[in-house]
A and B are shown apart, each in its own frame.
Chain A
Amino acid sequence: MQAVIIEPQALFVPFLAQALRRSGVAVLGSSGCAHPAALLRQRPDVVLVDVDHVAAPLGCLRALRAALPAARIVAVADCPEPAWTALARAAGADAVLSAAADEDVLGSAILAHAA
């Protein structure tokens, strides 16, 4: 399984990448840009996107879904409320995970959602 990380907070990317690798997910690359075309052309199985920090998060999710109809799109948000989670799912997210979780929960949740 291969993943792309969309995280404008570059500071945290190595940590997220490490969490994914520990769960057996290879990381193709990362970007702070909401729609990293070159990375998406590599057809990742999973896209992990920090929706708290990308510009226009719902638009970002729609664009990702349109670009990668078969990929699992996993959004990470600080405190996702049910109403926002519903909007995110309607926009294309397969899962909305809380950043209040630790990295092991994140990794296993990605695997569960991607299974």
Chain B
Amino acid sequence: MTTFGLRVVVVESQVLFAKALSGIFADDADFKVIGDYRTPLTAPLQTANPDLIVIDLDGQPVDIAQTLGACKEGAPAAHVCVLSMNLSPEIMQRCLAAGAEAYIVKDISPAELLRAVKTVAEGQSYVDPRVAGGLLKRRSLNGGKPDIMELSQRESEVLKLIAEGLANKQISARLHLSEKTVKNHVSRIFSKLNISARTQAAVHAIRAGIV
């Protein structure tokens, strides 16, 4: 097994379940639990330098982007595995857009959790098949077109401003980003929505009700 001795940080807001999660990893020789914390905002991730962060999203005090942003900022090289009870494809997509490599629903057994996390440690992604199925079904109903929920929070902000008629330079001033960064966001928006013009982007934004 190539994953021997993977350093795991557990982030779980409830002490009781933090112990449960730590115990699951501690019982498997492939993992070494190096800390458990209530939130990534206060966890010393830079010092801990984990290979894996297993975080229970339920009960975290701030939104997904901030929560997972803190994980990626504190330990940029760590694989982030999100646990949740939420079967929403939108939530899953937000997690993946924010840097998670796994979206695991907590109604599984400890053995299934370990299998999913090992998959991620080996460089692959894992999403709960029920949630992924919901996403595929929605795409199918949408004529195969990707939808707006695939955008990250920042891309959604940029899209909203595109729909309001702002040019890249104006968007960069409004969001305090460089014009190049805005251009990158616009390219990704076009790619994710499979469009080639700002007017099409505006139509997507209006249909999705974000303007």
Whether a CB of chain A sits under 8 angstroms from the CB of B15 is yes
| Chain B, interface residues (CB within 8 Å), range | 20 to 34
Do A99 and B15 touch across chains, with their CB atoms under 8 A apart?
Answer: yes
Contact between chains at B17 and A9 (CB < 8 Å): yes
Taking a contact as CB atoms under 8 Å apart, the answer to whether A103 and B110 are in contact is no
Q: Is A78 an interface residue (CB 8 A)?
A: yes
Min distance, Cβ B56 to any Cβ of chain A, angstroms: 9
Which residues, 86 to 103 on A, are CB-close (under 8 Å) to B? Answer: 99-103
User: Are A11 and B16 within 8 A (Cβ)?
Assistant: no
In the bound complex, what is the Cα–Cα distance between A32 and B15 (angstroms)? 20
A82: chain B residues at CB < 8 Å are none
Complex contact B19–A11 (CB within 8 A):
no
> Looking at the complex, which one of B20, B107, B110 makes contact with A32 (CB distance below 8 Å)?
B107
Number of A-B contacts (CB under 8 A): 60
**Among B15, B16, B20, residue most surrounded by chain A Cβ atoms (within 10 Å):** B16
Question: Which residue on B lies nearest to A97, using beta carbons?
Answer: B16
A78 to B106, CA, bound (A): 16
State in angstroms the CA–CA spacing of A103 and B15 once bound together.
9
Is the beta-carbon distance between A8 and B107 smaller than 8 angstroms? yes
In the complex, how many angstroms separate the beta carbon of A80 from the nearest chain B beta carbon?
Answer: 12
Do A15 and B107 touch across chains, with their CB atoms under 8 A apart? Answer: no
B23 adjacent to A15 (CB under 8 Å) = yes
Interfacial chain A residues near B109, Cβ < 8 Å = 10-11, 14
Question: Given A10-B107, A32-B107 in contact, is the A15-B13 Cβ separation under 8 Å?
Answer: no
Cβ of B67 within 8 Å of any chain A Cβ, yes or no, is no
Check A11 against B15 for contact (C-beta < 8 Å).
Answer: no
Within 8 A of B (CB), among A5-58: 8-12, 14-16, 32, 52-53
State whether A99 touches B20 (Cβ < 8 A): no
A-B contact pairs, 24 of them (CB 8 A): A8-B107, A9-B106, A9-B107, A10-B108, A11-B20, A11-B21, A11-B83, A11-B106, A11-B107, A11-B110, A11-B113, A12-B20, A12-B106, A15-B20, A52-B58, A53-B85, A78-B13, A99-B14, A99-B17, A100-B16, A102-B16, A103-B16, A103-B19, A103-B20
Closest 8 CB pairs of A and B: A15-B20, A99-B14, A9-B106, A99-B16, A12-B20, A11-B106, A10-B107, A100-B15
